[in-house]
Structure 1
């Protein structure tokens, strides 16, 4: 029997600044497509056409302990890709002990910054939601998914899914 890879440890980096000891949770962006049902003449049911990435976009939500001036000072940055973030995770199988290195590279800007509850003598957590224009998932050194919304790049396991579309429109 095999056992799944489980996240054993992680770190978050904001503009190359390590959040070791500060980052508590990280919710990685959902990978979602916008699908539109089409049922034409002679079809027994609808088939969903892929219309590109979901309208919900790429959202990275992360929670940190305490007050963090680096991320607060990034709030309202005007460049849509102005905040570089990186998630580094160690996923381990308990049957073999094998550790997989999972890295997610993101670029975007902070959409919301929740300061949470302020209560003396209690834990202080801030939650930041970063909307991203760029996403790259690397597992054990292999680029599994790369999405550059502004550059019209969509790669999955080395296959450029938008190459023909970019060529068709002269990009």
Structure 2
């Protein structure tokens, strides 16, 4: 029977340190292109013009207080923190696993320490903004994107190679 792979488990690494068992959930980056409507003379309607990638963000929800992550707040470098999210997806149809690796660079933007109640998990929310992302499925790179110098690769097709050559970077 053919069934899609379902996330069975995941781990998060921040600057190489594993947070196995400490991260309750993560909202992975949404990939979206920025577009603007354009209608010029002789056109019978508007077309969406591609203006590049929309801002990439990620949201983390630790299971409780993680002081090591608080120590990353306020990093002066826009790409100062490396996050690697690793997911193990399994198909219940044939039992095979699919590995999803998402590598990102960016910095922690917000730490919402949540409300506190004695005896509760005290769920927190951490916002992380990205300047770089690479998505790898079973060892095959599907996407690589970087703000500067501009990199935009999809399935090995370097869509920004000509742009970088023109810019001399």
2:18 aligned with 1:9: no
Provide the secondary structure at the position in 2 that maps to 1:74.
Answer: coil
2:31 aligned with 1:31: yes
Query: 1:69 is matched with which residue?
Result: 67
- Report matched runs for 1:86-165 at 5 Å: 86-165=84-163
Distance 1:49 1:164 in 2: 19
CA contact (8 A) 2:149 2:164 kept: no
- Unmatched 5+ stretches in structure 2: none
Provide the secondary structure at the position in 1 that maps to 2:124.
Answer: strand
Aligned length: 169
2:46 aligned with 1:40: no
Per-residue deviation, 1:95: 0.7
Distance 1:36 1:126 in 2: 36
Provide the secondary structure at the position in 2 that maps to 1:66.
Answer: coil
Distance 1:151 1:42 in 2: 36
Provide the secondary structure at the position in 1 that maps to 2:68.
Answer: helix
Distance 2:28 2:163 in 1: 28
Query: So what's the TM-score if we normalise by structure 1?
Result: 0.95
Distance 1:70 1:108 in 2: 17
Distance 2:113 2:43 in 1: 52
Provide the secondary structure at the position in 2 that maps to 1:10.
Answer: strand
Provide the secondary structure at the position in 2 that maps to 1:164.
Answer: helix
Per-residue deviation, 1:134: 0.9
Per-residue deviation, 1:151: 2.1
Query: 1:19 is matched with which residue?
Result: 19
Query: So what's the TM-score if we normalise by structure 2?
Result: 0.96
- Unmatched 5+ stretches in structure 1: none
Distance 2:121 2:75 in 1: 28
Provide the secondary structure at the position in 1 that maps to 2:164.
Answer: helix
